[in-house]
Amino acid sequence: MKQFLTIIFLSALCVNAVAQKELVMTQYMHNQFAINPAFAGSRETLTAFAAYRMQWSGIPDAPNAQFFSIHAPLKNNQVALGASFFNENISIVRNTGFSAAYAYRIKAGANSRLALSLNAGLLSSKSSWDKISLTQPEDPAFGESETHIDPMLGFGIAWYSPQFFAGLSVPDLFYNAPLTMNRPFLSHPGPIF
């Protein structure tokens, strides 16, 4: 049984590392809902979590991110709902989005539950190419800003109790390339330094 749980845990980490592209999330042990919507309602009460992350403090345009989630079981104890909102700024790129989750929970023992969930939302990505300083201002490689609004759809499975938790999730089934410049390459006449 320990080997089975270890395999599930490592698989969940691998899938999540590949699928996570919107927001780099830390402290997931305090907010499992951030990476797996099946954990909606897992604390059996209304739960809210907020996080602010800033890297390279004191440097202009340093990467920063904000995250907020809320989830709770309904009066029908088999159903839980949740929502999350995020904003991330990395230099010229800004990602903003939200997701709503529905989890169906089944008793899987005296104190444990098995939950299956679906989540859906929207992701807005904006690339501000016009903020880049060029050595050749007439270079057509960088133009105006571009904005994309893409749907998000995911699912999750979780098994948890007060003593343990395990899960597998795909937060977003769609692959959305964040930068889609029309040119296949950028040419530069000489050294960048």
pLDDT, tens digit (0-9, with 9 covering 90-100), for 131-172: 777 666 666 656 677 888 999 999 999 999 999 999 999 988
Residue 8 has pLDDT above 60, yes or no: no
Evaluate if pTM is beyond 0.85. Answer: no
Residue 93 has pLDDT above 70, yes or no: yes
- The answer to whether 115 touches 38, Cβ cutoff 8 Å, is yes
Structure tokens that stand for 49 in this block: 């979590």
Residue 90 lies in a domain: yes
Residue 116 lies in a domain: yes
- Nearest CA to 82 out of 16, 114, 112, 38 is that of 38
Dihedral sign for Cα 83, 25, 154, 97, please. positive
Tell me the CA distances in angstroms from 22 to 17, 86, 91, one per residue in order: 11, 9, 15
Q: How many domains does the chain have?
A: 1
Q: Please tell me the distance from the alpha carbon of residue 40 to that of residue 150, in angstroms, as a whole number.
A: 23
Residue 160 lies in a domain: yes
Residue 193 lies in a domain: no
Return the minimum-mean-pLDDT range out of 6-20, 90-104, 114-128: 6-20
- The answer to whether 85 touches 116, Cβ cutoff 8 Å, is no
Q: Please tell me the distance from the alpha carbon of residue 66 to that of residue 54, in angstroms, as a whole number.
A: 9
Q: Please tell me the distance from the alpha carbon of residue 29 to that of residue 69, in angstroms, as a whole number.
A: 14
Give the residue carrying structure tokens 């904003």: 87
Residue 133 lies in a domain: yes
Residue 185 lies in a domain: no
Whole domain around residue 88: which residue ranges? 20-170
